[in-house]
Structure 1
Amino acid sequence: MEAEIIATVHSPQNDIPLITTESVPHADPGSERSTSRTTAYVVHDENYYFDFIVFQVSGCVGDRLFKVPRHKFVEESVIFRSMFDLPLGEKRADGLTDEQPLRLDGVEQADFRHFLKYLYPRGIDRPVSLTLDEWLAVLKLSSLWEMDRIRNDAITNLPALLTNPAQKLGVAIDYDVEFWLVPAMQELVQREAPLSVADLEHIGIECALRLAAIREACLPSNYRHNYNFGRSGIAPESRRGAVAYDCEERIELDFKGFITIPPLKYDKAMTAVQLVEEASPPAEVPVKSGRRGRGRGRGRGRGSTSYQD
């Protein structure tokens, strides 16, 4: 009979485990002991052998460490991929231990947690169901780290949750979703309710003033007949009402050359639309006879389910 002894050691050069099997036959007392030895290399699977990375994210009441598999950040982001490919020399890489984590400055803990929920979903539900705030966090961080596939996924799923056109316009400005801009503006122009202070928090004062000027030019067809003016000449508690004008051409004219996408920021309050040159005189809005219902821009933007216009 033979006794099999298995020992596991590590190669000093590449840290790949080696398994050594030694077969030792039982020998009579006084005889020499014969030994046969075989060696097999063990390699890491290319898909399912995960390296972990430790991130440190600041918070109001203290920093927090997150330890997750590294491969998703490498696969999805050219920024992280380039970062991990940089030669370090004798320096130890950040993110390998709790004592030396990789710091994510400027990232909020709640946003990062929402992003990890998308990246590493727990449970068996596929696809993962996210709230509006969670999808916004996914859009924010995927845009910041140039994760194009994830960004496109967020852009595809967000329209169904962004029911407020001012918020949708603010998100489009902040994260350069160009094909949302005109449809969201058109919805703000066409709706009955005027622009509000809450709208300013999403789109900024300059953008709101330009949209207000377009709204003023879009009078309903029954404007002269429905309003009962008081002695002051002002209709008490009256509103312009919703309009069905297709204002896309006017919006593109008034905003052409005047909107630039600001740098990504985490504080979206009072997002300003930057003006880069003098405004052209406002154009008259033609009334298109026979057109009813929602404008072309509004219908196109509100029901969008893909990243292409």
Structure 2
Amino acid sequence: MSNLPVFLGREPTVAEDLKYMEYDSFAEEGPRTIGTPDPERLQRDTSHYLPGKIFLVDNCLFQIPMHYLSSESEVFLGMTEIPLPADGSAEGMSDDHPIRLDGVSKQDFRQLLKVLCPRKAYGPAAVLSFGEWTSVLKLADLWCMDAVREHAISVMSKLTVDPVEKVVVARTYHVDQWLIPAFNEILQRANTLTEHDVDRLGLSTALRLVAIRERLVQDYRGIHTLTHARQAVNLDFTSAIISELPECKNVKTHFNSWGSLTYA
């Protein structure tokens, strides 16, 4: 029985489970050829080293059933369609001949595997931080894992996180529905923008946000007072955000059945 969560892909067949378990990566290997990894200098991941294909990410070896990846991405599905040589020397069959995943960090890959390969099918789902889910989103985008991407966005939307960080991630991975709520939170909070916030948002965006906040009228008398710190406000800045920030002009807004404004 597969550990694959019900929201991700189809259930693998028994034949698929067996296909990637028939090679024993712990069997003794012959002499290494020049240019192949030296297993003695690499580390095996302690959480994800199961019967299956062997991947090299950074300096770490992961071994997992291939169907966890191939059922979610055509990139990995294509690897399963390559005929296996009779001598079993194909990539992924041993620590000496792993499948190299260049340009990917072992930390990011490990977070993706927490979602795709839960350690116990009957146990609770992995609890990941916003940063860890960002790793999942990053690789889901890289390998066109649409179902994984949608699930990551759904979970991340419910997590409490610095709104500036949410804007950065939304821009990087094209999650446009996060932009207006995140900008609203920045405008509503008591905290002013720091230099680091300005660096991450960009000077143009930061200046536009400051300009919107300065339009806030304190009271009907038009009296201006200087306080020690900026005050939090309970005001919806959506219309001003859409008007002043070009990247939000095409974000679709609509009211759901409960009368709440949502973004898509």
Q: Shorter-chain TM-score: which interval? A: 0.5 to 0.7
| TM-score (norm: length of structure 2) | 0.67
**In the alignment, which residue of structure 2 is the partner of 1:172?**
170
**In the alignment, which residue of structure 2 is the partner of 1:242?**
232
Unaligned runs of 5+ in 1: 1-43, 228-234, 261-298, 302-307
Report sequence identity in percent. 35
SS of match in other structure, 2:95: coil
In the alignment, residue 46 of structure 1 is paired with which amino acid? A
SS of match in other structure, 2:164: helix
Q: Does 2:18 align with 1:49? A: yes
Q: How far is 1:155 from its partner?
A: 0.9
In the alignment, residue 99 of structure 2 is paired with which amino acid? L
Q: Cα–Cα, structure 1 residues 157 and 226, in superposed 2: closer, same or farther, change >3 Å?
A: same
SS of match in other structure, 2:18: coil
Q: Does 2:91 align with 1:94? A: yes
Q: Cα–Cα, structure 1 residues 140 and 300, in superposed 2: closer, same or farther, change >3 Å?
A: farther
Instruction: Give runs of aligned pairs for residues 24-103 of structure 1, distance below 5 A.
Output: 45-51=14-20, 52-58=52-58, 63-85=59-81, 93-103=90-100
Q: How far apart are the structure 1 equivalents of 2:193 and 2:237? A: 16
Q: How far apart are the structure 2 equivalents of 1:103 and 1:89? A: 18
Q: Does 2:104 align with 1:107? A: yes
Instruction: Give runs of aligned pairs for residues 101-180 of structure 1, distance below 5 A.
Output: 101-123=98-120, 124-180=122-178
Q: How far apart are the structure 2 equivalents of 1:126 and 1:205? A: 43
Q: How far is 1:71 from its partner?
A: 0.6
In the alignment, residue 111 of structure 2 is paired with which amino acid? H
Q: What does the per-residue CA deviation read over 1:141-184, in whole Å, with 9 as the maximum and x for residues that have no partner?
A: 11221111111111111133233111111111111111111111
**In the alignment, which residue of structure 2 is the partner of 1:183?**
181
SS of match in other structure, 1:237: coil
Q: Cα–Cα, structure 1 residues 180 and 65, in superposed 2: closer, same or farther, change >3 Å?
A: same
Q: How many residues align?
A: 210
In the alignment, residue 174 of structure 1 is paired with which amino acid? T
- Paired residues of 1:218 and 1:243 also in contact (CA < 8 A): no
SS of match in other structure, 1:243: coil
- Paired residues of 2:17 and 2:65 also in contact (CA < 8 A): no
**In the alignment, which residue of structure 2 is the partner of 1:288?**
none
- Paired residues of 1:57 and 1:108 also in contact (CA < 8 A): yes
- Paired residues of 2:54 and 2:94 also in contact (CA < 8 A): yes
RMSD (CA atoms): 3.2
Q: How far apart are the structure 1 equivalents of 2:237 and 2:164? A: 16
Q: What does the per-residue CA deviation read over 1:67-106, in whole Å, with 9 as the maximum and x for residues that have no partner?
A: 1110111100122223443679999643232222222222
Q: How far apart are the structure 2 equivalents of 1:80 and 1:98? A: 19
| TM-score (norm: length of structure 1) | 0.58
**In the alignment, which residue of structure 2 is the partner of 1:35?**
none
Q: How far apart are the structure 1 equivalents of 2:158 and 2:66? A: 31
Q: How far is 1:201 from its partner?
A: 5.2
Unaligned runs of 5+ in 2: 1-12, 21-51, 251-259
Q: How far apart are the structure 1 equivalents of 2:241 and 2:69? A: 39
Q: Cα–Cα, structure 1 residues 222 and 87, in superposed 2: closer, same or farther, change >3 Å?
A: farther
